[in-house]
Amino acid sequence: MNLWRNQNFDALLFDCDGTLADTMPAHYRAWLTVCEAHGMTFDEDRFYALGGRPTRDIVATLAAEFGVTLNLEEAVIIKEQSFLLQLDSIQPIDPVVDVVNRSRRKIPMAVATGGTREVCTRILEHIGIADAFSALVASEDVVRHKPDPDVFLEAAKRVGARPKHCVVWEDSDLGIEAARRAGMAWVDVRPFHSPTRVSKRL
């Protein structure tokens, strides 16, 4: 986790879900609520493979695959509300949060997420690090999402950093590909944290 310390970086950029906070099991349980209500299924391996995609995009994809007609915005709201009901159970991912806390006031930091601003802000507040970041770029702020690089490029812009001198902390293949396309260095946090699989508990 010390990769960035030996290099000349202008900023640290962090994904939120599964990177700063152990939210992925709660998100998957929220997805099951939506899918079961509409007669759809969502394999947990696929859920993780789609990490970084906005909720609305995933809802639209699943609805099309299952031939289900639904109100996309309503489904998104139900999913996000179901997640927020579990917020008290969310824990920080300590090795990454330790980097954030050690870097406060030393180097600009931003969060770049495929989630919504409201949910991400609630997560950051819950784990006590919302004030560590000078920028938050969420799904509402860009048109193209991971694996496209836009969210990271926008985050770099907002903190006044050159993309090639940023390092991204990520937990998903789509996020890492987005960082690569942005020309940024990246750290894969998965070797340091493995979320509990929900399907093994069902």
Enumerate the active-site residues. Answer: 15
Tell me the C-alpha distance between 34 and 184, whole Å: 35
The residue type found at 168 is V
Nearest-angstrom CA–CA distance, 184 and 16: 17
Please provide residue 137's backbone torsions phi and psi, each rounded to the nearest 5 degrees: -110, 120
CB 17 within 8 A of CB 172: no
d(CA 41, CA 56): 16
Q: What angle do CA 14, 32, 175 make, to 5 degrees?
A: 20
Strands (E), 99-201: 109-112, 135-137, 166-170, 185-188
Single-letter amino acid, residue 44: E
The greatest distance separating any two alpha carbons of the chain, rounded to the nearest whole angstrom, comes to: 52
What token pair was written down for 55?
Answer: 């909720």
Q: How far is it, in rounded angstroms, from Cα 200 to Cα 163? A: 40
